[in-house]
């Protein structure tokens, strides 16, 4: 019968583990800045020499630098704990970059559109809350849960989704709006 090796829990304190991350985090930051330097240098060179060159983001350059380091000289043990967090920082950066674009787009929508987006989000939160509590047995006295959810579901969310779909497929395109009078176009926000 084979016995599995059981690892002992770490006896280091939180502050010791946090301090152990610092060298690797500094290495990640240095590689990121090196990637940004490469991006800016190549773009400046291409612009100065009127050479067409794709704009490769610094994140890709940082990944390439990391691959070169890991596959040539390797990562010294002192950097290992901090470098092991790269996946978290990469995912966090992608999420923050996506939210930056999303928030920038939302801010350009205008007041009425922001209100509609907020109302739709509230509707989905209420629906998620209802589904959560009904799945936890809090709605046992209700016979038909689907009918109950449909009765309680805010129908304005469906209207909002329909209007968004129509705007997406071009129902309210500029060419259609150009035929309308200026006073009737003032109500459109698409």
Q: Provide the pLDDT for residue 151.
A: 73
| 8 Å CB contact between 55 and 36 | no
Let me know if residue 4 belongs to a domain: no
Q: Provide the pLDDT for residue 107.
A: 66
Same structural domain, 136 and 147: yes
Same structural domain, 97 and 173: no
Same structural domain, 47 and 130: no
| 8 Å CB contact between 27 and 83 | yes
Let me know if residue 71 belongs to a domain: yes
Q: Provide the pLDDT for residue 22.
A: 92
Q: What is the pTM of this model?
A: 0.47
Same structural domain, 164 and 115: yes
Q: In this structure, how many other beta carbons lie within 10 angstroms of the beta carbon of residue 28?
A: 20
Let me know if residue 7 belongs to a domain: no
Same structural domain, 21 and 91: yes
DSSP letters, 174-189, are HHHHTTS-HHHHTT--
At a CB cut-off of 8 Å and minimum separation 6, what does 10 contact? 17
- Final residue of a domain: which of 61, 85, 108? 108
Let me know if residue 139 belongs to a domain: yes
Q: Provide the pLDDT for residue 60.
A: 85
Let me know if residue 9 belongs to a domain: no
Same structural domain, 115 and 188: yes
The DSSP letter of residue 54 is -
Q: Provide the pLDDT for residue 100.
A: 64
Same structural domain, 84 and 122: no
- The string over 99-135, giving b where at least 16 C-beta atoms fall within 10 Å of a residue's C-beta and e elsewhere, is eeeeeeeeeeeeeeeeebeeebeebeeeeeebeeebe
Let me know if residue 130 belongs to a domain: yes
Let me know if residue 6 belongs to a domain: no
Q: Provide the pLDDT for residue 188.
A: 46
Same structural domain, 70 and 40: yes
Going residue by residue through the chain (190 aa), what tens digit of pLDDT does each one get? 455 555 555 677 888 888 999 999 999 999 999 999 999 999 999 999 998 888 888 888 888 998 898 889 988 999 999 888 888 887 777 777 666 666 666 666 666 666 666 777 776 777 777 677 767 665 556 677 677 767 766 666 677 677 766 766 666 555 554 554 444 444 444 4
Q: Provide the pLDDT for residue 44.
A: 93
Same structural domain, 86 and 129: no
For 135, the domain range is 110-190
Same structural domain, 94 and 154: no
**C-alpha closest to that of 130 among 117, 141, 146, 143:** 146
Which tokens in the block code for residue 41?
């240098």
3-state secondary structure of 53: coil
Same structural domain, 190 and 134: yes
Domain count, the chain: 2
Same structural domain, 95 and 160: no
At a CB cut-off of 8 Å and minimum separation 6, what does 127 contact? 149, 153, 154, 157
């Amino acid at each position: 019968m084979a016995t599995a090796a059981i690892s002992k829990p770490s006896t280091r304190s939180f502050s010791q583990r946090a301090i152990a991350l610092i060298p690797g985090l500094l290495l990640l930051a240095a590689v990121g800045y090196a990637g940004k330097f490469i991006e800016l240098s190549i773009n400046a060179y291409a612009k100065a020499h009127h050479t067409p060159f794709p704009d490769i983001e610094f994140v890709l350059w940082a990944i390439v630098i990391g691959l070169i380091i890991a596959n040539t000289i390797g990562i010294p043990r002192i950097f290992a704990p901090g470098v092991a967090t790269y996946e978290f920082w990469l995912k966090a950066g992608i999420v923050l970059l996506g939210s930056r674009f999303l928030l920038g787009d939302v801010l350009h929508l205008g007041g009425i559109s922001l209100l509609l987006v907020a109302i739709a989000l509230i509707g989905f939160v209420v629906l998620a809350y209802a589904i959560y509590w009904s799945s936890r047995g809090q709605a046992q006295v209700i016979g038909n849960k689907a009918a109950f959810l449909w009765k309680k579901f805010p129908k304005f969310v469906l209207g909002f989704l329909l209007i968004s779909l129509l705007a997406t497929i071009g129902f309210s395109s500029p060419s259609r709006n150009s035929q309308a009078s200026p006073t009737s176009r003032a109500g459109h926000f698409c």
